Chains A and B, each alone.
Chain A
């Protein structure tokens, strides 16, 4: 546990201090606020929803979630491979740190760093909106809860693959494929081409937003039951766990071969 927390703490600090990523995230967020204020990102609300303010917060976070995971997926993709490139991995191998502890510590360090970043962005965005629109301060709390409900499962899913895939494919190949995947796999209509967007592997957060908050991306969006939204979240977390297991197995195998 001590080793796990040590890796997590170290990775968290390394990941959150990257100036270029922070600047990129904040520039796009500022742009998003501008768009939100000019009424470009308002979706349809289902009839008779219980909490309209929570629904507004949900669509606020979902709007940010259209592009924020792209920055996260790209930024997270060099977190594991850089240890191999810089020789840090060899140094760690000389210690009694287990590979599974290393993978878990790294994963949760990266996830927490980006969730923190999103919390900070959403916090400031929601304060701005509360002041501008004279809404209740509860809106800020609803926004932070929406991050946990809408964004976090998707971030857990994409970060697991962003750590795993660059171990066996060139980094920029993964990053380009990932950028294309984000749009294809989550937002293209299944009537246009084969896509993951209507399956439980959709990582955009649309399912929980529609099922729990009553916000629909478009008027013809399919109805999503709460059971399907829960299945969506659980599937994303399960697949992320499988990816991390695969990553541990891959590192074990390559190190055994090297020895």
Chain B
């Protein structure tokens, strides 16, 4: 009986850490370093905007880009599917590492702002400020994963994520002016922090994250689509 059962695999972040896509660790740090350099050389008037641009605009893009490649580029994907590990565990392993790296990056960047004397209080208090990058990053995390699984292609998935991000960036004013559509605008709370509308936007982005996470789970369960 025991011999016939599928091999089990425990929560295996070590596998993801060691064998899978090292760039998810260094890419956010590299882009942060670039913004740190820009923040030093940019004029005083635009320094705060550089910090806001990284936290509220750039981190969600990095998050979506990394998560679009979280599943299908694994060379041992078929092997992973043969184990008895639950789909949720696999999702947690892959996405939690990206979320952790993004969180660390955001926190280090805010410490850097403090060290060079940039006041981020315009974005809210210490906790409220975290929602400005966390809510859109979570939404993009699940968006990248679900779209790439839907397209059965990581580049195809990221083409959609990148296009969506760019479209929102160019048309952020149009989205922000609509009382309904501003709730799906990734950058709304960075554009208009400390308002009731920003809180509603963050809440709706977290709901979008939950819904897309459920979609990711349903898509990943259909293992035959990716073999």
Residues of A at under 8 Å CB distance from B?
18-21, 23-24, 27-28, 31, 35, 40, 66-67, 70-71, 74-75, 77-78, 170-173, 175-180, 182-183, 187, 192-194
How many chain B residues touch the partner (CB < 8 A)?
A: 36
- A183-B169 contact, Cβ under 8 Å, with A24-B163, A173-B23: yes
Residues of B at under 8 Å CB distance from A?
21, 23, 27, 31, 38, 41-42, 46, 49-50, 58, 61-62, 65-66, 68-69, 151-160, 162-163, 165-167, 169-171, 174
Q: Give A21 to B160 CA distance when docked, in angstroms.
A: 8
Are A171 and B155 closer than 8 Å at their CB atoms? yes
Secondary structure of the B side of the interface? helix
Number of inter-chain CB pairs below 8 Å: 95
Q: Give A23 to B164 CA distance when docked, in angstroms.
A: 13
Pick 7 A–B contacts, CB within 8 A, sort by A. A20-B151, A20-B153, A35-B174, A74-B163, A172-B69, A175-B158, A193-B46
A71 CB contact (under 8 Å) in B42, B154, B163: B163
**CB neighbours of A175 from chain B (8 A):** 65, 155, 158, 162
Q: Give A175 to B64 CA distance when docked, in angstroms.
A: 11
- A193-B153 contact, Cβ under 8 Å, with A74-B162, A172-B65: no
Q: Give A19 to B31 CA distance when docked, in angstroms.
A: 31
Are B42 and A75 closer than 8 Å at their CB atoms? no
**CB neighbours of B66 from chain A (8 A):** 172, 176
B61 CB contact (under 8 Å) in A24, A77, A179: A179
- A67-B163 contact, Cβ under 8 Å, with A74-B155, A172-B65, A193-B42: yes
Q: Give A70 to B68 CA distance when docked, in angstroms.
A: 16
5 more A-B residue pairs beyond the given contacts A67-B163, A70-B163, with a C-beta to C-beta distance below 8 A: A21-B159, A27-B160, A74-B155, A180-B31, A183-B169
Q: Give A136 to B42 CA distance when docked, in angstroms.
A: 49
**CB neighbours of B41 from chain A (8 A):** 194
**CB neighbours of B160 from chain A (8 A):** 20, 24, 27
Are A172 and B170 closer than 8 Å at their CB atoms? no
Distance in Å: Cβ of B47 to nearest Cβ of chain A: 10
